[in-house]
Chain A
């Protein structure tokens, strides 16, 4: 008997330990953090806008990118099989991981088989998601992050707060302090000039690169028809890891596929301009299996589900799998700019995280995240693959569990609003009933608003004022004109 295998949710660092409003409170109160975030998001927003404006066919590229990704989702099983066949034919070994724990186990086993007790790492969202560094450490394997921002975060024993710039929450003085405290070979007279800090990181990692035997990376794209993997980066740490060690292990979410090599002509235009606001990032590396005499002799790809099948199962939420992790939506989001990345609890912060994390875990496990948005729609405008994030947020809010009081109130409201007569009568009643209170508040405070409501509505007014009904509706006013 063949029963269908149900899509499964995932684990790892994608769950909010605290509800978003609770987690955001300390961040919103931290003036230094808010100043750092404000400055950084403003800078990158402007850079992106400048380089996107240069491209006359930007909208055509977005349309193509969006359609290619929708096509990938529709054909995901067959494209994965095609990728596996092409990569294997080129000398790579393809592994499959149902969830975070299985993916970590595969990487640990491969590292041990290579006889190594340390790995160098290229920045990768997938390995953060599956909490690979923790798993390696538990297995007695040291993992060295080599991207500058990841290095800062790792040395600071912190977690990333942004997809592209994980250390966006630190300013230069704070970074210098971390280097002086935690980097034994940092020069004694290290200044907080960004060039001096970058030089310190270069010296610190140089020997490690030249002697590393195993590297772990993610991939920005995996090409089905050729078996090629693509890593987009800036510093050259990626090239070091992808080229010098004997063994290369790449952890890749199943949604990262593109059907053909030619499809890169769209995505390598969309990604850098959306992400770092550059025409092109300094380095992009592409490799297909093993090339004798050039680069690693042992190449592994770990294809990870970890909840992606559950995302795929929801036709409304499915486009979240189109995300290419550019982080443009974070940089334009008024909520992200004020709360920062840590408040989202997951490795995927910001608007994309607010839809992706709850879908990966199941909405019940991340029920506060779909509300971490004002639904202003700026994220949709900048998304290079046109993910309608506000639509998916609203869809997920409907699925999130709601308290019985709220459900009862909504049922009553829906009954009232279903009939124009009942609705008009209710408005009349509210207007008349609230008139004395409104007049009183206006005399006292100059505004017809209430600052605080009694329980159970007190939660709603904790972060908002309640406007009282106007003395006259627009329709009444219009009728009198």
Chain B
């Protein structure tokens, strides 16, 4: 008997008492349609030590001290307007060592959750592959206001589970030493969010 068949058989024997079906009560909140979601997002991002800026106009200033900037291949051209440093597109894919030599990475996101200050990447438009936003020490992320939802359940409905997904809430951190939160271990030590109004 294979391990698979044996484990499944063990589990079936274990359930010989045929436990009754369990209805799942879903009385929790699924949507939060407060009008000030963007303010909540800013508050929560700041609380977990992400830095928030407003408008694409802020980008050239933010990138002023960046010599080498990694970007996904489909980065919108207007994000780079006024940037004078080297742009490294991820095509052909940058090696881990290349990425380690970057000063910053600039991407967009798929959705942001106000309640928890979370940004979600799904390898969709303007995001690139996972390594791109992981290895550089500084991550600048452009979030459009129409990408902001209130709660986690709303955010999940906007995602394709089969895409590689990364939920980011503040910069890399650890609480392993006396449970003090320290920002910056292996992931980007600086997370900066550029909020852009989607109204044109």
Which A residues have a C-beta under 8 Å from some C-beta of B?
Answer: 4-8, 36, 39-40, 43-44, 47, 56-57, 60-61, 63-64, 67-68, 70-71, 73-74, 76-77, 80-81, 84, 90, 95-98, 102, 146-149, 152, 165, 167-168, 171-172, 175, 194-195, 197-199, 201-202, 205-206, 209-211, 223, 226, 228, 234-237, 239-240, 242-244, 254, 261-262, 264-266, 268-269, 276, 278-288, 291, 293-295, 303, 305, 309-310, 312-313, 315, 318
Contact yes or no, B185 A202, CB < 8 A: yes
What are 21 A-B interface contacts by the 8 Å CB criterion? A4-B13, A7-B11, A47-B179, A70-B22, A98-B6, A147-B176, A171-B178, A194-B180, A198-B177, A198-B182, A209-B186, A235-B173, A236-B134, A240-B134, A279-B115, A285-B166, A286-B164, A288-B161, A288-B164, A295-B130, A315-B17
Determine which of B12, B24, B123, B184 lies in contact with A291 in the assembled complex, contact meaning CB atoms within 8 Å: B123
Contact yes or no, B152 A281, CB < 8 A: no
Q: Which residue of A lies closest to B184 (CB)?
A: A198
Q: Which of B26-34, B53-61, B77-85 contacts A (4 or more CB under 8 A)?
A: B26-34
Contact yes or no, B7 A305, CB < 8 A: yes
Contact yes or no, B162 A282, CB < 8 A: no
Q: Tell me the chain B residues, 1-15 only, with Cβ under 8 Å from chain A.
A: 1-4, 6-15
Shortest CB-to-CB span from B30 to chain A, Å, is 8
**Cα distance A102–B115 in the bound complex, in angstroms:** 43
Contact yes or no, A198 B11, CB < 8 A: no
Determine which of A73, A80, A210, A280 lies in contact with B100 in the assembled complex, contact meaning CB atoms within 8 Å: A210
Contact yes or no, B15 A76, CB < 8 A: yes
Known: A243-B134, A261-B156. 10 other contacts (CB 8 A): A71-B21, A90-B162, A194-B180, A194-B182, A195-B182, A234-B173, A234-B185, A236-B185, A265-B152, A278-B48
Contact yes or no, B97 A71, CB < 8 A: no
B107 at the interface (CB under 8 A from A): no
Taking CB atoms, residues of chain B closer than 8 Å to A149 are: 174, 176
Q: Which residue of B lies closest to A146 (CB)?
A: B186
**Cα distance A148–B176 in the bound complex, in angstroms:** 7
Taking CB atoms, residues of chain B closer than 8 Å to A282 are: 48, 168-173, 187
B188 at the interface (CB under 8 A from A): yes
Contact yes or no, A244 B173, CB < 8 A: no
**Cα distance A171–B8 in the bound complex, in angstroms:** 45
Determine which of A8, A102, A172 lies in contact with B177 in the assembled complex, contact meaning CB atoms within 8 Å: A172
Shortest CB-to-CB span from A197 to chain B, Å, is 6
Contact yes or no, A165 B15, CB < 8 A: no
**Cα distance A357–B6 in the bound complex, in angstroms:** 22
B117 at the interface (CB under 8 A from A): yes
Contact yes or no, A309 B176, CB < 8 A: no
Taking CB atoms, residues of chain A closer than 8 Å to B68 are: none
Interface class of chain B by DSSP = loop
Q: A98-B6, A201-B185, A202-B186 are in contact. Are A56 and B169 (CB under 8 A)?
A: no
Contact yes or no, B164 A291, CB < 8 A: yes
**Cα distance A313–B14 in the bound complex, in angstroms:** 4
Taking CB atoms, residues of chain B closer than 8 Å to A205 are: 186
Q: Which residue of B lies closest to A211 (CB)?
A: B96
Q: Which residue of B lies closest to A199 (CB)?
A: B184
Taking CB atoms, residues of chain B closer than 8 Å to A209 are: 96, 186
Contact yes or no, A148 B4, CB < 8 A: no
Determine which of A57, A96, A264, A280 lies in contact with B28 in the assembled complex, contact meaning CB atoms within 8 Å: A57
Contact yes or no, A279 B134, CB < 8 A: no
Contact yes or no, A284 B167, CB < 8 A: yes
Taking CB atoms, residues of chain B closer than 8 Å to A313 are: 13-14, 16
Shortest CB-to-CB span from B37 to chain A, Å, is 15
Q: Which residue of B lies closest to A243 (CB)?
A: B130
Residue among B8, B162, B176 having the largest count of chain A Cβ atoms under 10 Å: B176
Contact yes or no, A5 B10, CB < 8 A: yes
Taking CB atoms, residues of chain A closer than 8 Å to B9 are: 4-5
Determine which of B13, B131, B161 lies in contact with A244 in the assembled complex, contact meaning CB atoms within 8 Å: B131
For the complex of A and B, the 3 pairs showing the least CB-CB separation, nearest first, are A236-B187, A5-B9, A313-B14
